[in-house]
């Protein structure tokens, strides 16, 4: 059995180069490794987060106290000051008879939408003026896809003008805006 050593070197040299390269790469990588200690930064951020949570709790406490006070006052038998409705002033501005708390006076609200709001418990100008735009959108969404084209963004503001008897201001606003859109 004769062994041809010239053929072995063709395999041995690349194998040795690969092993030496791997060893050299390992030693280089290990020599540069340093451990980064972020514990001080982490502690600082945890303390800051705790302070922010405490501030948030304090703000929420103040807010609930402010909200609770009017609720307690509303529960008392005191009568809220109502702004009297002046149908003559409304007729003078709009040229037609306006019924008190007729939601259809608000530009963008027709008979069907008016009934949807009444069914949702929003039956007066005052109630609509105190309703958020998001709640108005919920009422519209409850009517289905056909009411998605309506934009209730200005409805609470218009209802407030109705409730406060600012008929000239309401008429001017409605004239300046295209179907209640800003």
pLDDT of residue 26: 86
State the pLDDT confidence band at 21, using cuts at 50, 70 and 90: very high
pLDDT of residue 120: 93
Note the helical H segments in 33-145. 39-75, 87-94, 111-119, 125-129, 133-141
Flag whether 35 is in a domain.
no
User: Which sign does the torsion angle of CA 38, 44, 50, 56 carry?
Assistant: negative
Co-location of 168 and 105 in the same domain: yes
pLDDT of residue 178: 66
Q: What is the mean pLDDT of the chain?
A: 84
pLDDT of residue 36: 75
Q: What is the pTM of this model?
A: 0.54
* Total domains present in the chain: 2
**Alpha-carbon 72 to chain mean position:** 28
Give 72-83 pLDDT, tens digit per residue.
555 554 445 678
Co-location of 72 and 91 in the same domain: no
Co-location of 76 and 91 in the same domain: no
Co-location of 121 and 168 in the same domain: yes
**Is pLDDT of 156 > 70?**
yes
Structural domain including 151 reads 87-176
Two tokens, residue 43: 């502690």
């Amino acid at each position: 059995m004769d062994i041809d050593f010239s053929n072995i070197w063709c395999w041995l040299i690349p194998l040795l180069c690969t092993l030496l390269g791997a060893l050299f790469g390992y030693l280089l990588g290990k020599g540069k490794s340093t451990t980064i200690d972020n514990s001080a930064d982490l502690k600082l951020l945890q303390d800051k987060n705790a302070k922010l949570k405490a501030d948030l709790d304090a703000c929420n406490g103040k807010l609930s106290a402010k909200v609770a006070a009017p609720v307690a006052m509303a529960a008392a038998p005191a009568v809220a000051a109502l702004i009297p409705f002046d149908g003559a002033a409304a007729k003078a501005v709009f040229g037609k008879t306006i019924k008190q708390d007729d939601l259809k006076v608000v530009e963008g609200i027709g008979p069907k939408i008016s009934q949807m709001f009444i069914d949702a418990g929003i039956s007066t100008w005052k109630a609509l003026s105190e309703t958020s735009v998001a709640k108005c959108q919920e009422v519209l969404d409850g009517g289905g896809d056909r009411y998605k084209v309506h934009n209730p963004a200005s409805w609470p503001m218009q209802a407030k003008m109705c409730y406060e008897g600012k008929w000239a201001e309401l008429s001017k606003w409605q004239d300046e805006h295209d179907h209640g859109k800003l």
